[in-house]
Amino acid sequence: MRGGGVSMFVNNNLKHDVTEEKCLNYNHYLWIHVENYKLDVGVVYRKPDQGDVNSFLETLSQQLNNRKRALIFGDFNINLLTKNRATVIYKEVIQESGYEILNKIDEKYCTRETATTKSIIDHVCSNIKQNKFHVAIIETPMSDHKQIYIEMKRYHQEPLQKVSYQAVDYNLLYNTISQYQSSNFEHTYSILEEKLVNCIKYSKITKYKILNPPRKNWINNTIISHINNRNKLWNAHKRNPDDTNKKDLFINKRNEVTDYIQKTKSKYYFKAFIDCKNQPTKMWELINSLSQNKLKGNNTPKKIQMQNGQTTDDENEICECFNNFFVSVGPILASQVPQKYHPCI
């Protein structure tokens, strides 16, 4: 039986952990997290001539959506040069997960070549935006597949915003007030307010605090508690990286928290859409808010099915479809209203 498998070689200078390793229906998945770059790297092998592509893509989609910054390589045995059903669905899953195929879709950049065929069945994808990748296809005597070489810019995490504010140093305030001595007790109370104001003014110091990103509406106290518990397990694992029990506890808790967050978020937005029923303004506000939270640069749909049944991915045609719809929707709806409800003119 033809089979496969995946492996990954990582430089010892890079701090990394294996975060997921799975084999389902002869399909292999391996993920690591590289701490230095805050990057998840995955490798995938899909068994060729496999009829059920949907189960493979379902597992792949779940893994892609669980990663914030990721690169994924693999022998997918899905030829990007063809337009069959498996290729179309695969491209849709990659795109809907917020990823982009970095291969150049051209026979000149095929990853496997025989005397009669050329194919691109080895792919590299990423959800990292605003990063210029350099991808090259390299000949190798090690395999009948060519190698994929990729370079990317080093990750510089955007720092949280820091703001300054004035606060009272109460020790300094106490000492300042103590220095005010008055022998004229008849006038002490009359100037008490002035003295207090001046003392507070001279006792102020500048402090700084970090502004955390705004909390999403679906983040509740239970999620925060789970995240805090996960962070405690992470700190325990970080202090004792060789302790496999602490590492397993952290990984299990992390996966549990991720799953709980996804379910809570799905329930929240499902209810939000139900509440917007028959309220188009609120519905569009919700859709826009969801679109703006994505990593994509704009809110334009990637593709749309036109009235003639054809599908287009051209942005101008998509905009024209929306314009035609909103221009003609009034008369169409009016024509569907029974005649007895039409106003008499």
Tally the domains of the chain: 4
Residue 336: band (very low, low, confident or very high) from pLDDT cuts 50, 70, 90: confident
Residues 63 and 103 in one domain: yes
> Confidence band (pLDDT; 50, 70, 90) for 291?
low
Looking at the fold, whether 126 and 80 belong to one and the same domain comes out as: yes
Residue 5 lies in a domain: no
User: Are 199 and 166 within one domain?
Assistant: yes
Query: At 186, is the pLDDT very low, low, confident or very high (cuts 50, 70, 90)?
Result: low
Answer whether 135's CB lies under 8 Å from 148's CB: yes
Residues 6+ apart with CB under 8 A from 140: 146, 147
Phi, psi of 20 (to 5 degrees): -160, 135
C-alpha triplet 291, 295, 296: angle, nearest 5°: 70
129 within some domain: yes
Q: What are phi and psi of 194, to 5 degrees?
A: -60, -40
Report the CATH number that the domain containing residue 142 is assigned in CATH: 3.60.10.10
Question: Is the same domain home to 169 and 125?
Answer: no
Residues 42 and 138 in one domain: yes
Same domain, 41 and 147: yes
Residue 21 domain-assigned?
A: yes
State pTM to two decimals: 0.49
- 122 phi and psi angles, rounded to 5 deg: -105, 125
233 and 111 housed in the same domain:
no
Q: What is the pLDDT of residues 33-75, one digit of tens each?
A: 998 888 999 999 998 877 778 889 999 999 998 898 999 999 9
Chain segment 139-178, per-residue pLDDT in tens: 888 888 999 999 887 766 667 777 787 888 888 877 877 7
In a domain, 298, yes or no: no
CA dihedral 329, 334, 338, 341 (to 10 degrees): 140
pLDDT above 90 covers what percent of the chain? 32
